[in-house]
């Protein structure tokens, strides 16, 4: 297998994690007090890892670029978190969650990791309830569930449309408890600009205090990167504005392999782009597909009339609507996985059936659900013959209770009332399955550097199922990493504190200072956003929902040129020794300009379609993704070699011993 050793434990799948945990080297509590761990990122993965590591006795330092750990991007997650609790008694199990996730990922994830994820999923819910996370409950007082795409059971726990917020506040509260005990030192408004290696091991970071501009050195016996995904590479996405790849990319340049960069999730239900001024896109949670039906007009003339404002969607008769997901995928209907739903929307819009000004939108319609819920409610409240208006009112109340904040968000942005007229939605970049390559212990190819949450590549293969990112972040942070890291740190009990006054720290700091100096001194013609937007256009047009050889090659060339221009012509005002948001952005965009090229290279190299990676050249006659299992059942892990285009490919072969690899079908 060459340099990549995934360290998957031997033995039967269901026993691997338990056996591994039993065999892991432990660090005794007295020694943990002598060990420092740096955790970069305070989202679900970093927050939960930091709290648990501190509780176990390690000295933890956390870093985030926001002004509070509670504002990490996880806060924005809406729909829910999966767990194989089988509270609904609908046939769910650890195996089924494992199976759904591997299948949903289009057979490009590691069996052992996914099974572990499914196993610990149930602990997450217990843990969060104990912490006081107010999940939605039924009238009987028990926890409620909803369904997400790509599965046939109801295993998603939720807190209205604010599940991520509630889970993150839980992890943040656990962090606060440790901050209060002095076991976590929290650095906010701090950005990691480089990683420091001593004798080949990750031993610290260089960070910039974003308020004062000071460059700081921080050392530790291990460095955990929980810095989220890199979807902002596309400029427009559902990510928060500051989301970036800097920490992961710097680790990559220091030797950590970057896995499957081209596996990116384009989410089917987002609010469409309204104009050139657009700065970000807003997700409408997948949970809405439980009750919303997706459609476009059946006749192209109607679509045109709607676009020109001559026809209203509510005026179109049932038989003139094309519920294309229900038509193409009768078994899963509106609940097909995201990659499938996104491509189907693109297919209809490309064919001329789009319903907004730009022709890039489809409908998500709640009228049927409102009436269905209304009728049910009328019956249970003992109403004999309620009129339509009453039924609609009752139904709207129920829909509001379920999705109120999402409907409000939609109305504020689009200025239309989604209770009365269908929502307009279109796919947008939402999540990155790719990330730093990690072994079973979540360690990257740099000893002592770990990656958790969206920052690693590990569990979702080529497509992530809804409500599984929150699950993975918390699984990594609460239940996996704090234990697997002991295996590594047990060798460090006699090391003593790591000094920051060494050649290695000097060199890393110098490197950081020179880069800032270069960005500030260019004093060119264009703002950072100018470059970011251009990069986004290349990515969306040539590396987006459908890719092909010719355009990927063009993208690589264009990105390299844009990068060159950036370093010659970017304009960063202000001073490096003060709060400077343009400088912050410049550093992030500089890294995206490198990652983008590797992304295109990875997509070009993968001559198959799988999950979120769709190559025009590889599709079935019906337009479904065509995998090539014989040649591509591997993780593509890229080693940095000076230039993104020169990155060296290492393959981790994926072996399926417990699941039969099949063509993914949701028909």
Partner 1 sequence: MKLYLKIWRQKNAESKGSMVEYTLDGIENDMSFLEMLDVLNEGLINKGEEPVEFDHDCREGICGTCSLMINGRPHGPDSKITVCQLHMRSFNDGDTIVIEPWRAKAFPVIKDLIVDRNSFDRIQQAGGYISVNTSGRPVDANAIPIEKDLADASFNAATCIGCGACVAACKNASAMLFTSAKVSQFALLPQGRVEASERVLNMVRQMDLEGFGNCTNTGACEVECPKGISLENIARMNREYLSASVKG
Can residue 38 be called a binding residue for ligand FAD (CB under 6 A)? no
The contact mask relative to ligand FAD for 195-234 (x = CB under 6 A, - = no) is -------------------------------xxxx-----
**61, 184 contact by CB (below 8 A):** yes
Q: Tell me how crowded residue 661 is: count the other CB atoms within 10 A of its CB.
A: 14
Among 120, 125, 223, 370, binds partner 1 (CB under 8 A): 125
Least Cα distance to 174 among 40, 81, 53 occurs for 53
For residues 76 and 644, give the distance between their C-alpha atoms in angstroms, rounded to a whole number: 31
Least Cα distance to 427 among 346, 330, 306 occurs for 346
* Phi then psi dihedrals of residue 285, to 5 deg: -45, 145
Q: At CB < 8 A and 24+ separation, what contacts does 301-309 make? A: 303/352, 303/353, 303/354, 303/355, 304/352, 306/355, 307/354, 307/355, 307/356, 307/357, 307/359
Among 230, 431, 599, 666, binds ligand FAD (CB under 6 A): 431
Among 349, 442, 446, 467, binds ligand FAD (CB under 6 A): 467
Query: CB under 5 to 8 A by kind: which of ligand FAD, partner 1, none does 165 bind?
Result: partner 1
Residue ranges of alpha helices (H) inside 156-245 are 163-180
Among 44, 262, 294, 603, binds ligand FAD (CB under 6 A): 44
Radius of gyration of the chain from its Cα atoms, rounded to whole angstroms: 25
Q: Which of residues 161-200 bind ligand FAD (CB under 6 A)?
A: 163-164, 191-192
Among 11, 134, 496, 623, binds partner 1 (CB under 8 A): 134
Cβ of residue 409: shortest distance to partner 1, in angstroms?
6
Query: CB under 5 to 8 A by kind: which of ligand FAD, partner 1, none does 623 bind?
Result: none
Q: Is there a catalytic annotation at residue 289?
A: no
Q: Distance from first CA to last CA of the chain, Å, rounded? A: 37
Can residue 267 be called a binding residue for partner 1 (CB under 8 A)? no
Cβ of residue 357: shortest distance to partner 1, in angstroms?
10
Q: At CB < 8 A and 24+ separation, what contacts does 139-144 make? A: 142/87, 143/85, 143/87
Q: Which of residues 552-591 bind partner 1 (CB under 8 A)?
A: 571, 573-574, 578-579, 581-582
Can residue 68 be called a binding residue for partner 1 (CB under 8 A)? yes
Cβ of residue 131: shortest distance to ligand FAD, in angstroms?
16
Cβ of residue 212: shortest distance to ligand FAD, in angstroms?
16
Can residue 361 be called a binding residue for ligand FAD (CB under 6 A)? no
Can residue 73 be called a binding residue for ligand FAD (CB under 6 A)? yes
Comparing CB distances to ligand FAD, the nearer of 26 and 240 is 240
Least Cα distance to 487 among 31, 48, 27 occurs for 27
Q: Which of residues 240-259 bind ligand FAD (CB under 6 A)?
A: 244, 246-247
Least Cα distance to 372 among 396, 342, 348, 404 occurs for 396
For residues 454 and 284, give the distance between their C-alpha atoms in angstroms, rounded to a whole number: 20
Comparing CB distances to ligand FAD, the nearer of 166 and 633 is 166
Across the beta sheet with 215-219, what order do the strands follow?
A: 190-198, 201-209, 215-219
> What one-character-per-residue DSSP string does 364-410 give?
EE-HHHHHHHHHHHHHHTT-SS--HHHHHHHHHHHHHHHHHHHHHHH
* DSSP 8-state code for residue 570: B
For residues 654 and 635, give the distance between their C-alpha atoms in angstroms, rounded to a whole number: 7
Residue 390: is it exposed, middle or buried by C-beta count within 10 angstroms (0-12/13-18/19+)?
Answer: middle
Contacts of 572 by beta carbon, 8 Å cutoff, 6+ apart = 519, 520, 522, 523, 528, 580, 582, 583, 586
Instruction: Candidates 42-50, 366-374, 496-504, 656-664: pick the segment binding ligand FAD (CB under 6 A).
Output: 42-50
* DSSP 8-state code for residue 492: G
Can residue 404 be called a binding residue for partner 1 (CB under 8 A)? no
For residues 600 and 623, give the distance between their C-alpha atoms in angstroms, rounded to a whole number: 22
Instruction: Candidates 133-141, 363-371, 502-510, 542-550: pick the segment binding partner 1 (CB under 8 A).
Output: 133-141
Query: CB under 5 to 8 A by kind: which of ligand FAD, partner 1, none does 412 bind?
Result: partner 1
Comparing CB distances to ligand FAD, the nearer of 189 and 553 is 189
Can residue 413 be called a binding residue for partner 1 (CB under 8 A)? yes
Least Cα distance to 293 among 335, 345, 251, 248 occurs for 335
Can residue 410 be called a binding residue for ligand FAD (CB under 6 A)? no
Can residue 51 be called a binding residue for partner 1 (CB under 8 A)? yes
Among 19, 408, 541, 663, binds partner 1 (CB under 8 A): 408
Can residue 163 be called a binding residue for partner 1 (CB under 8 A)? no
Catalytic choice (217, 293, 338, 534): 338
Comparing CB distances to partner 1, the nearer of 582 and 629 is 582
Comparing CB distances to ligand FAD, the nearer of 269 and 609 is 269
Comparing CB distances to partner 1, the nearer of 75 and 225 is 75
Contacts of 323 by beta carbon, 8 Å cutoff, 6+ apart = 293, 294, 295, 334
The residue with its CB nearest to ligand FAD is 43
The contact mask relative to partner 1 for 529-548 (x = CB under 8 A, - = no) is x-------------------
**93, 135 contact by CB (below 8 A):** no
**392, 324 contact by CB (below 8 A):** no
Cβ of residue 93: shortest distance to partner 1, in angstroms?
16
Comparing CB distances to partner 1, the nearer of 172 and 440 is 172
Query: CB under 5 to 8 A by kind: which of partner 1, ligand FAD, none does 571 bind?
Result: partner 1
Q: How many residues sit in the footprint of partner 1 (CB under 8 A)?
A: 78
Residue 383: is it exposed, middle or buried by C-beta count within 10 angstroms (0-12/13-18/19+)?
Answer: middle
Residues with active-site annotation: 338
Q: Could you list the residues that contact ligand FAD (CB under 6 A)?
A: 40-46, 63-66, 72-74, 76-81, 163-164, 191-192, 226-229, 238-239, 244, 246-247, 283, 285, 430-431, 453-455, 467-470, 473
């Amino acid at each position: 297998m060459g340099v990549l050793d995934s360290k998957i434990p031997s033995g039967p799948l269901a026993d691997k994690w338990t056996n591994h945990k039993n065999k892991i080297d432990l660090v005794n509590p007295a020694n943990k007090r002598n060990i420092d761990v740096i955790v970069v990122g305070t989202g679900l993965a970093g927050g939960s890892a930091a709290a648990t590591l501190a509780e176990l006795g390690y000295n933890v330092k956390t870093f985030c670029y926001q002004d509070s750990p509670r504002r990490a991007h996880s806060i924005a997650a809406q729909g829910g978190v999966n767990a194989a609790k089988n509270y609904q008694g609908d046939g769910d199990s650890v195996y089924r969650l494992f199976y759904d996730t591997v299948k949903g990922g289009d057979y490009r994830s590691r069996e052992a990791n996914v099974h572990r994820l499914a196993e610990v999923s149930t602990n997450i819910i217990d843990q969060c309830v104990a912490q006081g996370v107010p999940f939605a409950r039924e009238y009987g007082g028990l926890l409620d569930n909803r369904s997400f795409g790509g599965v046939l059971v109801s295993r998603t726990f939720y807190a209205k449309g604010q599940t991520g917020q509630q889970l993150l506040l839980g992890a943040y509260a656990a962090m606060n408890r440790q901050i209060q005990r002095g076991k976590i030192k929290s650095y906010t408004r701090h950005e990691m600009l480089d990683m420091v290696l001593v004798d080949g091991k990750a031993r610290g970071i260089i960070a910039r205090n974003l308020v004062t501009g000071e460059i700081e050195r921080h050392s530790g016996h291990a460095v955990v990167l929980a810095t989220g995904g890199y979807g902002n590479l596309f400029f427009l996405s559902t990510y928060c504005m500051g989301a970036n790849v800097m920490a992961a990319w710097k680790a990559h340049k220091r030797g950590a392999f970057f896995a499957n960069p081209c596996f990116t999730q384009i989410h089917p239900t987002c609010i469409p782009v309204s104009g050139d001024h657009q700065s970000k896109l807003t997700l409408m949670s997948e949970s809405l597909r439980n009750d919303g039906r997706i459609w476009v007009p059946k006749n192209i003339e109607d679509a045109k009339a709607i676009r020109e404002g001559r026809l209203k969607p509510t005026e179109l008769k049932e038989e003139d609507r094309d519920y294309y997901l229900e038509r193409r995928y009768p078994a899963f209907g509106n609940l097909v996985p995201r990659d499938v739903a996104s491509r189907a929307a693109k297919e209809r819009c490309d064919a001329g059936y789009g319903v907004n000004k730009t022709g890039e939108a489809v409908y998500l319609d709640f009228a049927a659900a409102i009436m269905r819920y209304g009728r049910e409610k009328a019956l249970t409240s003992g109403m004999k013959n309620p009129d339509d208006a009453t039924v609609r009112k009752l139904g709207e109340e129920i829909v509001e209770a379920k999705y109120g904040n999402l409907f409000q968000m939609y109305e504020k942005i689009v200025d239309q009332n989604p209770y009365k007229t269908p929502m307009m939605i279109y796919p947008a970049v939402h999540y990155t399955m790719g990330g730093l390559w990690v072994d079973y212990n979540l360690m990257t190819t740099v000893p002592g550097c770990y990656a958790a949450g969206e920052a690693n590549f590990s569990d979702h293969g080529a497509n992530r199922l809804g409500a599984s990112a929150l699950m993975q972040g918390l699984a990594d942070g609460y239940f996996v990493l704090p234990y697997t890291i002991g295996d590594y740190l047990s060798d460090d009990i006699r090391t003593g504190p790591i000094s920051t006054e060494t050649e290695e720290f000097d060199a890393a700091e110098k490197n950081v200072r020179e880069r800032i100096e270069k960005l500030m001194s260019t004093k060119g013609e264009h703002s950072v956003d100018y470059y970011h937007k251009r990069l986004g256009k290349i990515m969306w047009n040539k590396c987006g929902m459908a890719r092909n050889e010719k355009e990927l090659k063009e993208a690589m060339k264009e990105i390299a040129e844009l990068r060159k221009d950036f370093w010659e012509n970017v304009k960063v005002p202000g001073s490096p020794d003060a709060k400077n948001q343009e400088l912050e952005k410049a550093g992030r965009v500089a890294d995206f300009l490198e990652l983008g090229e590797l992304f295109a290279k990875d997509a070009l190299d993968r001559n198959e379609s799988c999950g979120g990676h769709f190559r025009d050249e590889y599709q079935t006659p019906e337009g479904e993704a065509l995998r090539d299992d014989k040649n591509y059942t591997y993780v593509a892990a890229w080693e940095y070699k000076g230039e993104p285009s020169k990155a060296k490919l290492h393959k981790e072969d994926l072996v399926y011993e417990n699941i039969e690899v099949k063509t993914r079908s949701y028909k």
